[in-house]
């Protein structure tokens, strides 16, 4: 297999900026890593699992699109979540996004992901500080600061970009961030 060059270029991460800017940079870095893992893959490749697992790169893209919408729009601002998430019966299939990759063309899926990331960036930028508390409270009564959400998002992306590393290398030999 000839590896596909990974695109787009990864954003730089400063080693001296303040906390908020550094969180933004790390989150944007992992957003870009995940998008790069999908670059150049066909619809079939985006829906290919390589181990006994439901994980595919397309499933990870859809999952993180929903996670972006969930934490920033739904939890932080208490906005209703939009399509396609609002029409899903999550009780019937809690992993809907992993099982429905074939419902989306690759470009459509990546556009949804990029648009969701941009909405999240705008929501974060509009917040007064990382100490701002999300509008929604968890079922257990817990409250979440924007700082917690940003750190949690970095953790989510780091974990899933690791999954995408294995899948992409198995698909076409491409390695790297």
Mean pLDDT of 78-102: 93
CA distances from 35 to 20, 72, 164 (A): 23, 19, 10
Spatial neighbors of 48 by CB under 8 A, at least 6 apart, are: 56, 167, 171
CA angle 81, 84, 86 (to 5 degrees): 40
pLDDT tier for residue 1 given thresholds of 50, 70 and 90: low
CATH architecture, range 19-172: Up-down Bundle (1.20)
Mean pLDDT of 87-110: 94
Q: What is the pLDDT of residues 31-84, one digit of tens each?
A: 999 999 898 899 999 999 887 888 999 999 999 999 999 999 999 999 998 889
Residue-level pLDDT at 68: 97
Q: 154 by DSSP, 3-state: which?
A: helix
The proportion of the chain whose per-residue pLDDT surpasses 90, expressed as a percent, equals 71
Residue-level pLDDT at 9: 80
Q: Which helix (H) or strand (E) holds 156?
A: helix 146-172
pLDDT tier for residue 10 given thresholds of 50, 70 and 90: confident
Of the ranges 10-24, 124-138, 157-171, which one carries the lowest mean pLDDT score?
A: 10-24
On the question of pLDDT at 107 being above 90, the answer is yes
On the question of pLDDT at 162 being above 60, the answer is yes
On the question of pLDDT at 23 being above 90, the answer is yes
Q: For residue 80, give both structure tokens.
A: 């209703």
Contact 118, 28 (CB under 8 A): no
On the question of pLDDT at 2 being above 60, the answer is no
The residue with greater pLDDT, 83 or 110, is 110
> Which residue, among 26, 13, 25, has the nearest Cα to 154 in the 3D structure?
26
Residue-level pLDDT at 135: 97
């Amino acid at each position: 297999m000839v590896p596909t060059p990974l695109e787009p270029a990864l954003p730089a991460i400063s080693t001296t900026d303040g906390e908020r800017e550094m969180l933004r940079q790390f989150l944007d870095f992992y957003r870009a890593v995940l998008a790069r893992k999908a670059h150049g893959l066909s619809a079939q490749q985006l829906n290919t699992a390589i181990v006994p697992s439901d994980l595919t790169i397309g499933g990870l893209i859809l999952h993180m699109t929903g996670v972006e919408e969930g934490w920033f729009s739904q939890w932080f601002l208490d906005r209703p979540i939009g399509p396609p998430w609002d029409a899903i019966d999550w009780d019937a299939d809690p992993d809907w996004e992993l099982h429905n990759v074939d419902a989306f063309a690759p470009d459509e899926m990546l556009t949804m992901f990029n648009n969701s990331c941009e909405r999240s960036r705008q929501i974060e930028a509009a917040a007064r500080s990382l100490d701002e508390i999300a509008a929604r409270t968890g079922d257990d009564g817990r409250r979440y600061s924007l700082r917690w959400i940003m750190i949690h998002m970095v953790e989510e992306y780091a974990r899933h970009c690791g999954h995408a590393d294995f899948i992409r290398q198995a698909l076409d030999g491409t390695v790297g961030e």
